[in-house]
């Protein structure tokens, strides 16, 4: 079972592009772009509901994935404040901690202190006493899972940094992949990061006859249409649609326009026959990389 959890904005833009979804304006209350499915979730900031974490001190948490949703693990954000301290997970539950912001100090079962900075992480086996402390604001993403025993195999605690892991080969993909936990039998789940490479569009798109729909991250949530027309008409059409997209995302009345124009475009695109040719547009558009955390179970569940 693989549970893919997307938290960063660039991945959010890609998800919206691939599903032909547009973002809902932030000034409209009650709307969210979050999507929860059996094997993946898209979790946007407006869906985070923070409350005190049990046994944690000066810490607020937001649960993102829980067993009530059908998963075999818990995932939550932990916002630690000044003089904050973590609690322990339940008995027989392993914990994985990844630092998103700030710095925390991990004191392990041997009473040894480890300084965890951004992109550092710690794997803490079941029933291993430990504490996380912070003297300033820090944000963690925490995975907890009831450990599945295999006879004669014992998982050891790990403290490491993401950038010290080698890149794994991903032929034909547009991301850099690093595995954070060993793939050996004592570890019953895996954590890996994906970092987008500096190419926005490669082998992705919606293929239609003489039409390609593209979502560009450098114009927030805008949609442009690129047609196989004479060069002068194509350029003019693209410029006009850029202006329309700017209006859609810049003014309060854009929600009304979005409700009518964009569904009409989507319907029109869906009726067009698929073309065997596809022009890879904007292939070299730079895109700053942000990590995407994914958690998966190495056992069949």
Higher pLDDT, 172 or 249: 172
Per-residue DSSP letter, 167? P
For the residues 267-272, what does the mean pLDDT come to?
50
The pLDDT, as a whole number, for residue 218 is 30
pLDDT in tens, 56-72: 999 999 999 999 888 89
The pLDDT > 90 percentage for the chain reads 37
Residue 79 and residue 137: Cα distance in Å, rounded?
7
Residue 132 and residue 58: Cα distance in Å, rounded?
12
Nearest to 154 by CA among 109, 192, 117, 185: 185
Class for domain 2-198+288-297, per CATH?
mainly beta
For the residues 275-280, what does the mean pLDDT come to?
35
Residue 36 and residue 71: Cα distance in Å, rounded?
11
Residue 249 and residue 97: Cα distance in Å, rounded?
36
**pTM listed for this prediction:** 0.61
Evaluate if residue 17 carries a pLDDT over 50: no
Q: How many residues does the chain have?
A: 301
For the residues 234-242, what does the mean pLDDT come to?
55
The pLDDT, as a whole number, for residue 242 is 58
Supply 180's token pair: 């954070």
What DSSP line would sit under 198-257, residue for residue?
S-S-SS--EEETTEEEEEETTSTTEEEEEESS-HHHHHHHHHHHHHHHHHHHHSTTHHHH
Cβ atoms 3, 96 nearer than 8 A: no
Angle, alpha carbons 34-246-220 (nearest 5°): 35
The pLDDT, as a whole number, for residue 264 is 59
Evaluate if residue 171 carries a pLDDT over 70: yes
Higher pLDDT, 297 or 43: 43
The pLDDT, as a whole number, for residue 135 is 95
Evaluate if residue 90 carries a pLDDT over 90: yes
Nearest to 4 by CA among 39, 37, 34: 39
Higher pLDDT, 155 or 241: 155
pLDDT in tens, 194-230: 887 654 433 333 332 233 333 333 333 333 333 334 4
The pLDDT, as a whole number, for residue 192 is 87
Cβ atoms 36, 44 nearer than 8 A: no
| CB crowding 202-240: b at 16 or more within 10 Å, else e | eeebbebeebbbbbbbeeebbbbbbeeeeeeeeeeebee
Q: How confident is the model at residue 30 (pLDDT cuts 50, 70, 90)?
A: low
Evaluate if residue 298 carries a pLDDT over 80: no
Angle, alpha carbons 82-105-191 (nearest 5°): 115
The pLDDT, as a whole number, for residue 237 is 54
Residue 170 and residue 213: Cα distance in Å, rounded?
26
Supply 88's token pair: 């322990």
Domain boundaries, the chain: 2-198+288-297, 206-271
DSSP three-state, residue 262: helix
């Amino acid at each position: 079972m693989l549970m893919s959890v997307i938290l960063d904005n660039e991945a959010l833009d890609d998800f919206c592009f691939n599903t032909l979804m547009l973002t809902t304006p932030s000034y409209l209350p009650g709307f969210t772009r979050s999507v929860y499915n059996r094997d993946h979730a898209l979790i946007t900031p407006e869906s985070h509901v923070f409350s005190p974490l049990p046994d944690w001190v000066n810490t607020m948490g937001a649960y993102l994935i829980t067993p009530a949703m059908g998963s075999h693990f818990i995932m939550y954000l932990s916002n630690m404040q000044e003089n904050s301290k973590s609690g322990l997970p339940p008995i027989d539950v392993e914990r994985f901690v990844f630092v998103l912001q700030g710095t925390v100090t991990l004191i392990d079962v041997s009473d040894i202190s480890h300084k965890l900075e951004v992109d550092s992480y710690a794997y803490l086996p079941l029933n291993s006493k430990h504490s996380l402390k912070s003297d300033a604001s820090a944000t963690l993403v925490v995975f907890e899972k009831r450990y599945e025993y295999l006879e004669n195999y014992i998982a050891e605690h790990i403290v490491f940094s993401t950038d010290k892991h080698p890149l794994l080969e991903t032929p034909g993909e547009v991301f850099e992949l690093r595995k954070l936990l060993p793939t050996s039998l004592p570890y019953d789940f895996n954590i890996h990061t994906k970092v987008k490479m500096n190419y926005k569009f490669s082998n992705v798109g919606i293929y239609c006859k003489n039409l390609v729909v593209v979502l560009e991250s450098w114009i927030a949530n805008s949609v442009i249409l690129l047609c196989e027309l004479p060069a002068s008409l194509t350029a003019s059409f693209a410029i006009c649609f850029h202006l329309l997209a700017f209006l859609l995302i810049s003014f309060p009345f854009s929600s009304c326009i979005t409700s009518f124009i964009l569904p009409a475009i989507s319907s029109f695109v869906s009726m067009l026959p698929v073309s065997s040719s596809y022009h890879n547009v904007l292939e070299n558009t730079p895109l700053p990389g942000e990590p995407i955390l994914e958690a998966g179970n190495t056992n069949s569940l």
